[in-house]
Amino acid sequence: MSIACLPIELVRKICTYLQLPAWCALRLTCRSLYNITLDSFRRVFRSISVLCTSGGLCQLYELSMHEGIRQHVEELRLVPELFNGEYEMHPYGFAYWDCIRLALKKQRQQQPEEEYSASAHVSQYYQDFHFVMKDHRRILKSPTAIRVLRHCMGRFVNVITVGLRYRPAEGSRDLICLGWRSLTDDLGFPPKFPKEFRRHEGISREQDRAFCILVRALIASDQNVKHLSTCGKPCYGVALARLKLTQKEWTSFVSLMKGLLKIHLCLEGTQEGDHPERPRELLTAVGPTLEVLRYQFDSINASYPPTTFPILEIFPGIHFPRQREVRLQNLVVPPEALMEFLRAVSPTLTDLILKAVSLAPPDDPYGPLPQEDTPGETKHRWQHVLESFHDELSLHFLVLQAVMFKRNVLEIEDETYTWGPPHNQDTAAYNVARTGLSFHDWVNQLRLK
């Protein structure tokens, strides 16, 4: 029986399991399937990512001119990095990239032995790599990207989420990455890399430039959005001190963000990237309407838990009357400041995540955390914080992961924790619907070591 003869609801359900190229091919098989899947196909474009390349911007412009699709776009993110930050790769190292070795293996299978030359293929791939990188860097420095993005934002009338995203998974059913196919065609190989959790200088630089493009396009289009994210996963922070934005541009951006409901603000954890005023200005502007706050610094090195943080005093004087969810990560928090902030948002707070948060402010905010710890001090400090949680918060969801005093990770025994590997001694998690205990009872059953 032909798939076109199946009930419409079943056909649409089947299509949700298809990747985009397969979906496009299916819709071209017959007029009936084309019409049946039209509405579902449009909804695929609810969330799109765009590579900062000529191909990515061209596809974005074409998509914005499609009357049947543009109104379905709700989320638009720029992907600022290519090649995992390895932008100055030497030809010798380039030949050992996994994606190049796979491409050579494919060429060997397709060509006669006497015609195959690995060095010739590597040389061509390397030339194509430099051509693509030249185009990528030109786009990040060109006003063309701002003009195209401004035009598209004006056409995407239902966009509510904007931000940066660290290379989405290619071929995902849930994420469309414009420019990926043209990038692969230009290179002659798919540039797949394992995602890194250490900072690359190249990625940090491109992250800052892409965020400037996004800010200027938002200002030029006068676009009001509800959700803003400066990064994806893994997290690469924006260096607010290095952003080449004028004070007038920054002020206009902050004013435009008023009314924001959700923000993921990831900052670069270096002294060079730190700006003492800009985070406060932005959070002060969005605080009255903000419901979800994710605030963190990126990991300065590859260790976990991270061993270096900037110090943070938790938003003194900023009001968050509608705050429902808070996630703090990779930072040092004075215990009094942490509790003062949580008390202020406790009337509305339901979800809290603390990950790699230390209670000890270092002498140097950008240097290593002190390691000295008297016996039991880590347990004592966090016991006091949890008692405050017990008395002053009524949460539906709480995660503590790799929380510390100085650089000493707190060991936690949570008898209700069944979400991860057994005997996980650095994580405790509470979910009111899953744990089967009240928040107060759950806190009481924790055992700190």
Q: Please tell me the predicted confidence (pLDDT) of residue 293.
A: 96
Which residues share a beta bridge with 292? Answer: 262, 325
Residue 328 has pLDDT above 50, yes or no: yes
Residue 130 has pLDDT above 60, yes or no: yes
Residue 309 has pLDDT above 60, yes or no: no
Mean pLDDT is lowest, of 183-192, 275-284, 316-325, for 183-192
Q: Please tell me the predicted confidence (pLDDT) of residue 145.
A: 94
User: Average pLDDT for residues 277-297, to the nearest whole number?
Assistant: 93
Q: Please tell me the predicted confidence (pLDDT) of residue 197.
A: 46
User: Average pLDDT for residues 197-220, to the nearest whole number?
Assistant: 82
- Percentage of the chain with pLDDT > 90? 33
Q: How long is the chain?
A: 449
Q: What global pTM score does this model have?
A: 0.86
Burial track 201-214 (b if 16+ CB lie within 10 A, e otherwise):
ebbbbbbbbbbbbb
DSSP state of 411: P
Sign of CA dihedral 429, 435, 439, 443: negative
CA distance 240 to 253: 13
Work out the end-to-end distance of the chain between its first and last CA atoms, rounded to an integer number of angstroms: 64
Which two tokens mark 363? 């002498």
Mean pLDDT is lowest, of 211-225, 231-245, 264-278, 353-367, for 353-367
Q: Please tell me the predicted confidence (pLDDT) of residue 30.
A: 82
Which residues share a beta bridge with 409? Answer: 404
Residue 198 has pLDDT above 60, yes or no: no
Q: Who wins on pLDDT, 310 or 12? A: 12
Residue 313 has pLDDT above 60, yes or no: yes
Mean pLDDT is lowest, of 70-84, 231-245, 284-298, for 231-245
**For residue range 169-192, what is the model confidence (pLDDT) as tens digits?**
444 555 688 888 888 888 888 777
* Dihedral pair phi/psi, residue 164, rounded to 5°: -110, 155
Residue 299 has pLDDT above 70, yes or no: no
Q: Are strands 161-164 and 227-229 parallel, antiparallel or unpaired?
A: parallel
169 CB burial (10 A radius; 0-12, 13-18, 19+): exposed
CA distance 166 to 236: 8
Residue 400 has pLDDT above 90, yes or no: yes
User: Average pLDDT for residues 61-79, to the nearest whole number?
Assistant: 89
Q: Determine if the peptide bond prior to 234 is cis (ω within 30°).
A: yes
Which amino acid is present at 402? A
Residue 369 has pLDDT above 70, yes or no: no
